[in-house]
Structure 1
Amino acid sequence: MKNKPIVEVAIAILYRHGKFLLQLRDNIPGILYPGHWAFFGGHLEPGETPEEAIKRELLEEIGYTPPALSLFGYYPDTYVLRHVYQAPLPVELNQLVLGEGWDMDLLTPEEIQRGEGYSEKARQVRPLGTPHQKILLDFMDKFPQLTV
Protein backbone atom coordinates (compact mmCIF):
# COMPACT_ATOMS: atom_id res chain seq x y z
CA MET A 1 0.00 0.00 0.00
CA LYS A 2 1.36 3.36 -1.02
CA ASN A 3 1.69 6.14 1.61
CA LYS A 4 -0.40 9.25 1.06
CA PRO A 5 1.59 12.44 0.60
CA ILE A 6 1.79 14.74 3.59
CA VAL A 7 -0.77 17.53 3.54
CA GLU A 8 0.34 20.88 4.92
CA VAL A 9 -2.03 23.07 6.90
CA ALA A 10 -1.65 26.37 8.73
CA ILE A 11 -3.69 26.83 11.91
CA ALA A 12 -3.94 29.57 14.53
CA ILE A 13 -4.05 29.68 18.30
CA LEU A 14 -5.96 32.90 18.99
CA TYR A 15 -6.32 33.87 22.65
CA ARG A 16 -8.27 36.52 24.53
CA HIS A 17 -8.53 37.09 28.30
CA GLY A 18 -7.16 33.64 29.14
CA LYS A 19 -9.42 31.78 26.71
CA PHE A 20 -8.86 30.32 23.24
CA LEU A 21 -10.90 30.89 20.09
CA LEU A 22 -11.94 27.64 18.48
CA GLN A 23 -14.24 26.58 15.68
CA LEU A 24 -16.83 23.87 16.10
CA ARG A 25 -16.42 21.95 12.87
CA ASP A 26 -19.49 21.04 10.88
CA ASN A 27 -20.96 17.71 11.97
CA ILE A 28 -20.90 16.09 8.54
CA PRO A 29 -19.32 12.81 7.47
CA GLY A 30 -16.22 12.91 5.32
CA ILE A 31 -14.37 15.75 7.07
CA LEU A 32 -11.70 15.35 9.71
CA TYR A 33 -13.00 15.74 13.24
CA PRO A 34 -16.68 16.35 12.41
CA GLY A 35 -18.52 18.06 15.26
CA HIS A 36 -15.28 18.65 17.17
CA TRP A 37 -13.74 21.87 18.42
CA ALA A 38 -10.65 22.71 16.36
CA PHE A 39 -8.47 25.60 15.27
CA PHE A 40 -9.29 27.99 12.50
CA GLY A 41 -7.04 27.50 9.49
CA GLY A 42 -6.64 25.12 6.60
CA HIS A 43 -4.68 23.75 3.67
CA LEU A 44 -1.90 25.58 1.93
CA GLU A 45 -2.71 26.42 -1.67
CA PRO A 46 -0.05 25.61 -4.32
CA GLY A 47 2.80 28.12 -4.07
CA GLU A 48 1.45 29.62 -0.84
CA THR A 49 3.59 29.99 2.29
CA PRO A 50 2.16 28.87 5.62
CA GLU A 51 1.97 32.51 6.80
CA GLU A 52 0.06 33.51 3.66
CA ALA A 53 -2.25 30.53 4.14
CA ILE A 54 -3.13 31.32 7.75
CA LYS A 55 -3.90 34.94 6.93
CA ARG A 56 -6.11 33.90 4.01
CA GLU A 57 -7.86 31.18 6.01
CA LEU A 58 -8.61 33.46 8.97
CA LEU A 59 -10.03 36.11 6.66
CA GLU A 60 -12.23 33.49 4.97
CA GLU A 61 -13.31 31.77 8.18
CA ILE A 62 -13.82 34.64 10.65
CA GLY A 63 -13.49 37.80 8.55
CA TYR A 64 -10.43 38.91 10.51
CA THR A 65 -6.65 38.59 10.53
CA PRO A 66 -4.63 39.63 13.61
CA PRO A 67 -2.12 42.44 13.02
CA ALA A 68 0.74 40.04 13.83
CA LEU A 69 1.01 36.26 13.92
CA SER A 70 4.00 34.39 15.35
CA LEU A 71 5.00 30.84 14.55
CA PHE A 72 4.44 28.63 17.60
CA GLY A 73 5.72 25.39 16.08
CA TYR A 74 5.27 22.43 13.76
CA TYR A 75 3.18 19.36 14.50
CA PRO A 76 3.73 16.56 11.99
CA ASP A 77 1.92 13.25 12.04
CA THR A 78 1.59 10.47 9.47
CA TYR A 79 -0.38 12.49 6.93
CA VAL A 80 -0.48 16.12 8.06
CA LEU A 81 2.12 18.76 8.82
CA ARG A 82 0.53 21.48 10.95
CA HIS A 83 2.17 24.91 10.90
CA VAL A 84 0.87 26.45 14.14
CA TYR A 85 0.71 30.22 14.53
CA GLN A 86 -0.34 32.19 17.58
CA ALA A 87 -1.60 35.70 18.29
CA PRO A 88 -3.69 37.62 20.77
CA LEU A 89 -7.25 38.34 19.66
CA PRO A 90 -7.83 42.04 20.38
CA VAL A 91 -11.39 42.15 19.04
CA GLU A 92 -14.64 41.03 20.65
CA LEU A 93 -16.17 37.76 19.51
CA ASN A 94 -19.21 39.61 18.10
CA GLN A 95 -16.89 41.45 15.72
CA LEU A 96 -15.97 38.19 13.99
CA VAL A 97 -18.09 36.70 11.21
CA LEU A 98 -18.21 32.91 11.17
CA GLY A 99 -17.72 31.93 7.54
CA GLU A 100 -17.04 28.24 8.06
CA GLY A 101 -18.09 25.74 10.71
CA TRP A 102 -21.02 25.15 13.03
CA ASP A 103 -20.04 27.52 15.85
CA MET A 104 -17.14 29.43 17.39
CA ASP A 105 -16.38 30.29 20.97
CA LEU A 106 -13.67 31.10 23.47
CA LEU A 107 -12.88 27.93 25.42
CA THR A 108 -11.37 28.06 28.89
CA PRO A 109 -8.17 26.27 29.90
CA GLU A 110 -10.34 23.96 32.03
CA GLU A 111 -12.43 22.97 29.01
CA ILE A 112 -9.27 22.35 27.02
CA GLN A 113 -7.84 20.16 29.78
CA ARG A 114 -11.13 18.19 29.91
CA GLY A 115 -11.11 17.89 26.11
CA GLU A 116 -14.62 19.26 25.57
CA GLY A 117 -16.55 22.50 25.49
CA TYR A 118 -20.17 23.62 25.36
CA SER A 119 -21.57 25.02 22.11
CA GLU A 120 -24.48 27.43 22.34
CA LYS A 121 -25.50 26.72 18.73
CA ALA A 122 -25.28 22.94 19.08
CA ARG A 123 -26.76 23.17 22.60
CA GLN A 124 -24.44 20.44 23.77
CA VAL A 125 -20.95 19.68 24.96
CA ARG A 126 -18.75 18.75 22.01
CA PRO A 127 -15.29 17.12 22.05
CA LEU A 128 -12.02 18.80 21.21
CA GLY A 129 -10.02 17.26 18.36
CA THR A 130 -7.15 15.21 19.78
CA PRO A 131 -4.28 17.03 18.00
CA HIS A 132 -5.89 20.38 18.80
CA GLN A 133 -6.05 19.56 22.50
CA LYS A 134 -2.39 18.45 22.52
CA ILE A 135 -1.25 21.64 20.78
CA LEU A 136 -3.22 23.82 23.19
CA LEU A 137 -1.90 21.95 26.23
CA ASP A 138 1.65 22.45 24.92
CA PHE A 139 0.90 26.14 24.36
CA MET A 140 -0.54 26.56 27.87
CA ASP A 141 2.54 24.83 29.34
CA LYS A 142 4.87 27.16 27.44
CA PHE A 143 2.87 30.35 28.11
CA PRO A 144 1.04 29.87 31.44
CA GLN A 145 0.75 33.65 31.87
CA LEU A 146 -1.68 33.77 28.92
CA THR A 147 -4.24 31.55 30.65
CA VAL A 148 -5.03 33.91 33.52
Structure 2
Amino acid sequence: MVNANPAAQAHQTDSLSALQDLKIQTKPKMSITTGQSPWVGEPGGPTDHAWHELVGNTSIRVTDEELSRNASDVCIDHCIEYLRQAVMCNPDTSLTTLVWTDNVPKPVLDVKPFERVCVDWELFMESVTPRVVPFDEVDSLVNPKL
Protein backbone atom coordinates (compact mmCIF):
# COMPACT_ATOMS: atom_id res chain seq x y z
CA MET A 1 0.00 0.00 0.00
CA VAL A 2 1.38 3.41 -0.91
CA ASN A 3 0.75 6.34 1.40
CA ALA A 4 2.39 9.67 0.57
CA ASN A 5 2.14 10.93 4.16
CA PRO A 6 5.40 9.97 5.98
CA ALA A 7 3.77 10.15 9.43
CA ALA A 8 0.96 7.87 8.29
CA GLN A 9 3.48 5.48 6.74
CA ALA A 10 5.46 5.36 10.00
CA HIS A 11 2.31 4.75 12.08
CA GLN A 12 1.13 2.02 9.73
CA THR A 13 4.55 0.34 9.78
CA ASP A 14 4.73 0.58 13.59
CA SER A 15 1.24 -0.86 13.97
CA LEU A 16 1.98 -3.79 11.70
CA SER A 17 5.39 -4.52 13.20
CA ALA A 18 3.94 -4.52 16.73
CA LEU A 19 1.85 -7.54 15.80
CA GLN A 20 4.69 -9.64 14.43
CA ASP A 21 2.69 -12.84 13.98
CA LEU A 22 0.23 -11.29 11.53
CA LYS A 23 0.73 -12.35 7.94
CA ILE A 24 0.48 -9.45 5.51
CA GLN A 25 1.03 -10.21 1.84
CA THR A 26 -0.21 -8.45 -1.23
CA LYS A 27 -1.43 -10.05 -4.41
CA PRO A 28 -2.77 -8.77 -7.71
CA LYS A 29 -6.56 -8.74 -7.81
CA MET A 30 -8.97 -7.93 -10.56
CA SER A 31 -11.51 -5.28 -9.66
CA ILE A 32 -15.15 -6.22 -9.95
CA THR A 33 -18.14 -4.12 -10.76
CA THR A 34 -20.62 -3.35 -8.01
CA GLY A 35 -23.19 -5.69 -9.51
CA GLN A 36 -20.85 -8.60 -8.76
CA SER A 37 -19.84 -7.50 -5.25
CA PRO A 38 -21.29 -9.46 -2.32
CA TRP A 39 -21.12 -6.26 -0.20
CA VAL A 40 -23.49 -4.28 -2.44
CA GLY A 41 -27.21 -4.84 -2.43
CA GLU A 42 -30.33 -4.71 -0.32
CA PRO A 43 -29.75 -5.01 3.44
CA GLY A 44 -30.19 -8.47 4.91
CA GLY A 45 -29.39 -11.99 3.77
CA PRO A 46 -26.24 -12.42 1.69
CA THR A 47 -25.23 -8.74 1.90
CA ASP A 48 -25.31 -8.70 5.71
CA HIS A 49 -23.47 -12.02 5.80
CA ALA A 50 -20.71 -10.66 3.53
CA TRP A 51 -20.25 -7.58 5.76
CA HIS A 52 -20.23 -9.72 8.91
CA GLU A 53 -17.52 -11.93 7.42
CA LEU A 54 -15.48 -8.84 6.49
CA VAL A 55 -15.68 -6.84 9.73
CA GLY A 56 -16.77 -9.46 12.26
CA ASN A 57 -13.24 -9.99 13.60
CA THR A 58 -12.32 -6.37 14.25
CA SER A 59 -11.80 -6.72 18.01
CA ILE A 60 -8.47 -8.47 18.32
CA ARG A 61 -6.43 -9.38 21.37
CA VAL A 62 -3.14 -7.44 21.76
CA THR A 63 -0.65 -7.93 24.60
CA ASP A 64 0.83 -5.09 26.68
CA GLU A 65 4.20 -5.83 25.10
CA GLU A 66 2.75 -5.45 21.60
CA LEU A 67 1.06 -2.20 22.61
CA SER A 68 4.34 -0.86 23.99
CA ARG A 69 6.00 -1.51 20.62
CA ASN A 70 3.31 0.58 18.97
CA ALA A 71 3.04 3.14 21.80
CA SER A 72 -0.50 4.15 20.91
CA ASP A 73 -3.93 3.89 22.48
CA VAL A 74 -6.35 1.28 21.26
CA CYS A 75 -9.88 2.42 20.52
CA ILE A 76 -12.69 0.58 18.80
CA ASP A 77 -15.09 2.93 17.02
CA HIS A 78 -18.27 2.15 15.24
CA CYS A 79 -17.67 0.05 12.11
CA ILE A 80 -18.79 2.72 9.67
CA GLU A 81 -16.51 5.34 11.23
CA TYR A 82 -13.64 2.89 11.03
CA LEU A 83 -14.36 2.19 7.37
CA ARG A 84 -14.65 5.94 6.65
CA GLN A 85 -11.24 6.52 8.14
CA ALA A 86 -9.76 3.63 6.18
CA VAL A 87 -11.07 5.12 2.95
CA MET A 88 -9.95 8.65 3.76
CA CYS A 89 -6.53 7.67 5.11
CA ASN A 90 -5.71 5.06 2.46
CA PRO A 91 -7.47 6.24 -0.67
CA ASP A 92 -7.51 4.00 -3.70
CA THR A 93 -5.94 5.98 -6.51
CA SER A 94 -6.63 3.35 -9.17
CA LEU A 95 -7.64 5.03 -12.39
CA THR A 96 -11.05 4.57 -13.91
CA THR A 97 -12.12 6.12 -17.18
CA LEU A 98 -15.23 7.32 -18.91
CA VAL A 99 -16.31 6.06 -22.33
CA TRP A 100 -18.76 7.22 -24.94
CA THR A 101 -21.57 4.87 -25.92
CA ASP A 102 -23.85 4.84 -28.93
CA ASN A 103 -27.06 5.40 -26.96
CA VAL A 104 -26.24 7.73 -24.02
CA PRO A 105 -25.55 11.45 -24.60
CA LYS A 106 -23.04 11.71 -21.73
CA PRO A 107 -19.93 9.60 -21.07
CA VAL A 108 -20.39 6.61 -18.76
CA LEU A 109 -18.03 4.86 -16.37
CA ASP A 110 -15.92 2.23 -18.11
CA VAL A 111 -16.57 -0.85 -15.97
CA LYS A 112 -13.92 -3.11 -17.49
CA PRO A 113 -12.06 -4.99 -14.75
CA PHE A 114 -8.58 -3.73 -13.93
CA GLU A 115 -5.86 -5.15 -11.74
CA ARG A 116 -4.94 -3.68 -8.36
CA VAL A 117 -2.71 -4.87 -5.53
CA CYS A 118 -4.65 -5.98 -2.45
CA VAL A 119 -3.85 -7.67 0.84
CA ASP A 120 -4.31 -11.43 0.71
CA TRP A 121 -7.41 -11.16 2.91
CA GLU A 122 -7.80 -14.89 3.61
CA LEU A 123 -4.18 -15.16 4.82
CA PHE A 124 -4.54 -11.99 6.91
CA MET A 125 -7.80 -13.16 8.53
CA GLU A 126 -6.31 -16.60 9.16
CA SER A 127 -3.44 -14.99 11.08
CA VAL A 128 -5.66 -12.59 13.07
CA THR A 129 -8.37 -15.13 14.02
CA PRO A 130 -6.49 -16.48 17.09
CA ARG A 131 -6.49 -12.92 18.50
CA VAL A 132 -10.22 -12.27 18.09
CA VAL A 133 -11.94 -11.14 21.28
CA PRO A 134 -15.54 -12.45 21.21
CA PHE A 135 -18.23 -9.86 21.94
CA ASP A 136 -19.59 -11.94 24.84
CA GLU A 137 -16.13 -11.84 26.45
CA VAL A 138 -16.03 -8.05 26.11
CA ASP A 139 -19.55 -7.85 27.60
CA SER A 140 -18.46 -9.93 30.60
CA LEU A 141 -15.51 -7.66 31.48
CA VAL A 142 -15.79 -5.60 34.67
CA ASN A 143 -13.96 -2.30 34.99
CA PRO A 144 -11.36 -2.80 37.77
CA LYS A 145 -11.17 0.98 38.30
CA LEU A 146 -14.80 1.25 39.41
Q: TM-score normalised by the shorter chain: which range applies?
A: under 0.3
Query: TM-score of the superposition, structure 1-length normalised?
Result: 0.24
Structure holding more strand per residue: 1
Structure holding more helix per residue: 2
Query: TM-score of the superposition, structure 2-length normalised?
Result: 0.25
The structure having more radius of gyration, on CA atoms, is: 2
Relative contact order: is structure 1 or structure 2 higher (C-alpha 8 Å, sep ≥ 6)?
A: 2
